[in-house]
Chains A and B, each alone.
Chain A
């Protein structure tokens, strides 16, 4: 993972925070930037592990920079399998909600569609009742 320029990153972050919605309470953000994957190489993926709690609705807002081509794909995994992604049937959603029913460790994986170069911010929030 490389570092995004501070100003671009802040702009992207602020825009993403607005997109998260007024009912979202900020918990954490993930900042990712990858160059294009080379032929024959695995698509680069960032991985972060978080504890999520039962009976909380989490929202992951995913914002890709328009300076690069890549669209960010977020996947949420438990220790065994992928639970949810914002990339379904070819469509990339900018937000996913996860109604957590089991407290535990989950893994947030972020990559860019088709391994294109990209930069993105994803904000993890919980939804206020």
Chain B
């Protein structure tokens, strides 16, 4: 495979070949090497040893120890299934409902609602999770205090976020923006003439929805189901903050505690053995996803074109529907921000306004750890986003423009990280650089390497963008006398810049919110904001944690607002 790739590249101009080859090598190094290393580790006897220390033998024992462990079947698997199924059902239902409301009904203020539903996505999930604890914690949660004083109830309760339901509801709500975006794009690009045609055949609206709309959207819905299931399964913040106190053992937290055991050294071979079925499952889901999206593409009716939709009249449900979306916004953005601010200013449980103080903001914002966390967050986010955008451009070009046989493998490798839970990616990368003595372990550089595995979405964006750039635009430049690098600089780069900037920003926001990889690879030197806030919260610095949480919400909202205001219009133009 690589020999033929090399031969293909050698025939191309040398600089072009060099650039593309280095991008391919980066993908292999970032994605494949850690995973293969992890898979190999699963077969090493690592009791009290690292996997490739001298004297360590090959074994199948890890699998026996992990998969014959009754805890797995009595607790981890049932808990994970209940949690995943519950959250997926909730997020899909709300996502499809909201998408239909905004794209296909006459609900008022649709543009505002669109932003309202999407904007919570930029708030770090760990902050939202902590905010929900402040709101619905059984003993001192604000809502519980309110209910108790209003109805004269005894504490704790009556509501308890630390429960199966609490975990499912918070996780389900956290993914609504994503499923909403997915489905609203599908609704928007579906030709309403299909529904009109059905109506002209005298089908009633409900019949049309069931027999035409749903089947046409089915492949997209399936693709969404796969993505949401993967993201729920790999979700770590909410299982950690809410699920663990609720005595739930979900796979992601189970793996985390296996890596960070209360006593002794972690047994990496056993952890790797847990990861094996995930990697296999991930590959299977990836194949399924590709098939679902390919079917969606074959249903040529869902095209990239935007149609003017016909909207259903909601009648007296117009305002209740509007209010339902507002409740969502309240729960996922307004209340978390408010409770964070309040908890920063006033110690939890003390309702007196007299003790309110700005001191926690000063404390947390001037601490050297916070400054280090800021620096690490920006550095790891910015650098990894730059690397990924470079990879995405090159891989997209190889996949779209060349006939190299290796291009499918490359495409698969860039997409694979999407289906592998972050807990496992983090484990693999941590383990690899723990063993490989190149000095990145425990530094911010290992975060760069870990964040840079998130190349799936950016590659897809760049690919879609490159497909829009007609091949003849490049060829016209060659015929005009320009070599590959001139063509790249003067034609391709300017045309791809909007998509590249968009990808970079998305990656940066994802890194800013990042918690899982930061936790798995945490050492005092590479603390990032998400991890810092968690450590403050965990050690009882509630006011400082809240102050930092509030600051993070403000930062992402301001950045999101500016990007929307100044960048999105310019993207639309190009």
The answer to whether A and B interact is: no
Binding site for A on B (CB under 8 A): none
Binding site for B on A (CB under 8 A): none
